[in-house]
Structure 1
């Protein structure tokens, strides 16, 4: 069996109060486990507050996991020192959600793109500039962008710079955190098409975070559905969209607009808001909004079980009506 590029086991993240803040423990992630194969695009989906970004940042140790393993190329990143982790980061890059806040206004685009190469001591100055300009070309930006500043570009162009910054280090893994949510709809399609083209051409491995299930269907091979820090369902993209097994997934998919006006789709409205991770429900965390919940759901944390080849769900009820 081929070892996955990224293997996450029992990832848990609790934000605890400090001497400067008071309040309860925030249980952002609980026992999250998944694999990402080389060349695969895995989508993390769920409502705001489900823990998607916390997973992405914990994987790269931009925030420190509370417990769990994050194995990258067989190495447990959670056991590495700061210096060892810095060396590993050249193989893992992050595309941020906000293209306006993620680029320094005081640096030229060339400086932004070569900064990581300089930190990692990769190549000579001329070699770093060559790789940066090649990355600009890969994201369809002109070579003269190298000497310009971020404020001279539109939001979509800035996000292309963010993608180029990630590509310049030639990483093995890219975490794309809501990379189009801050952009106009017309620009979103261009960036998604660019990412898909780059993935196919370069064989990129990506962890793609989004709340937009239509986008995830288009770009991802496998989809992980998160709710309140726990995995509800995992399946190949085609299987999940054709036959969602968890009631939460069904509710999310029912909200996707159908481009064919002749088709009717029954919308499954979730009652109430997602609970606070500082006070999650007992048992199944989705039970307070689930139309199929029974008394036992309050007592049992449902394990993630395989219901068909490669398709997993966390629900104690074997079947629920669609």
Structure 2
């Protein structure tokens, strides 16, 4: 398991697993997460990256128990989220908030923006109605929207503005941890940069701890302090952001990074095309789940499940091949 080089962890995930189905008389269970372990320090932004189907969103939703994990521990400030009662979980969720991917589907069309933003405060029994609306106006200003937007409805705003409202909804409870689940993937490229800049500014200003989920490593590089790379429900690599982009250790990470466009035409990036398709989580490969697409796979990869091991200080990879050069 990865350990933080300095500072105390706010979030510790240990042996997290999630499966669907199975049981008496049913088909074999589908395991979508397997032995996920990592930590997030206070004030740190950790990027969670990988292709669609890698399990990123399942991790994010498990952390807030929006879905129930099948096994493992999720320690938030020392409390195991997976074992909290409903009442204790509601109180703990005041300190943990979620930014959803779709800015169109995540806002109720029947509620004013003021009602949407005040809802979490009302659930937590914070303030009077007037005080909650005042906090809603302040949250809108924090995300660079006019405070009078409290009286309008979601359909009156653009996609980028709606995502700002989603961010304001997450901030209004002054959480310690934010899970941002693909917060810019549904937006135009020009708007993506604005939202990522806003998140980075808010994180620095408010000292937020953030788990930033994205399939786009170019976006992750811009905001994250460390990066966790996932493939088919398992961690392939964890490293500080600068080390991961300068010297990736895992073949999967290298392939993902090679797909990022190089803006300098005099420095063309050698593209590493992965062969085949992503296997189904219903029938994953034996041994290393990446072996069917790995250019360096050997016979032993089909038998042995690689452990996540530290190869340099703070840099971890899950690969039995130690002879592959960076």
Any idea what the Cα deviations from partners look like across 1:199-255, whole Å, max 9, x if unmatched?
Answer: 111111100000110110010000000000000000000000000000000000000
**Offset, 1:2:** 4.4
Q: Name the counterpart of 2:276.
A: 272
1:253 aligned to which of 257, 260, 277: 257
Distance 2:42 2:224 in 1: 13
Distance 1:18 1:100 in 2: 37
Distance 1:48 1:272 in 2: 15
Contact 2:100 2:166 in 1 (8 A): yes
**Offset, 1:81:** 1.1
Any idea what the Cα deviations from partners look like across 1:21-73, whole Å, max 9, x if unmatched?
Answer: 97542211000000000000000000000000000000110000000000001
Determine whether 1:236 maps to 2:240.
Answer: yes
Change (3 A) 1:308 1:88: same
Distance 1:17 1:285 in 2: 21
Determine whether 1:159 maps to 2:160.
Answer: no
Distance 2:159 2:28 in 1: 38
Any idea what the Cα deviations from partners look like across 1:112-137, whole Å, max 9, x if unmatched?
Answer: 00000000011222221121111100
Aligned ranges for residues 125-204 of structure 1 at < 5 Å?
A: 125-204=129-208
**Offset, 1:319:** 2.7
Contact 2:9 2:40 in 1 (8 A): yes
Any idea what the Cα deviations from partners look like across 1:262-311, whole Å, max 9, x if unmatched?
Answer: 11111000011111111111110000000100111111110001000000
Q: Give SS of 1:5's match.
A: strand
1:41 aligned to which of 41, 45, 61: 45
**Offset, 1:3:** 3.2
Aligned ranges for residues 275-294 of structure 1 at < 5 Å?
A: 275-294=279-298
Determine whether 1:10 maps to 2:24.
Answer: no
Contact 2:50 2:215 in 1 (8 A): yes
Q: Give SS of 1:101's match.
A: coil
Determine whether 1:101 maps to 2:105.
Answer: yes
Give the TM-score of the pair, scaled to structure 1.
0.97
Distance 2:161 2:23 in 1: 39
1:218 aligned to which of 215, 222, 229: 222
Q: Give SS of 1:122's match.
A: coil
Any idea what the Cα deviations from partners look like across 1:96-152, whole Å, max 9, x if unmatched?
Answer: 000000000000000000000000011222221121111100000001101000000
Q: Cα RMSD over matched residues?
A: 1.4
Q: Give SS of 2:292's match.
A: coil
Contact 2:7 2:42 in 1 (8 A): no
Contact 2:50 2:56 in 1 (8 A): yes
In the alignment, structure 1 segments of 5+ residues that lack a partner are none
Q: Give SS of 1:206's match.
A: strand
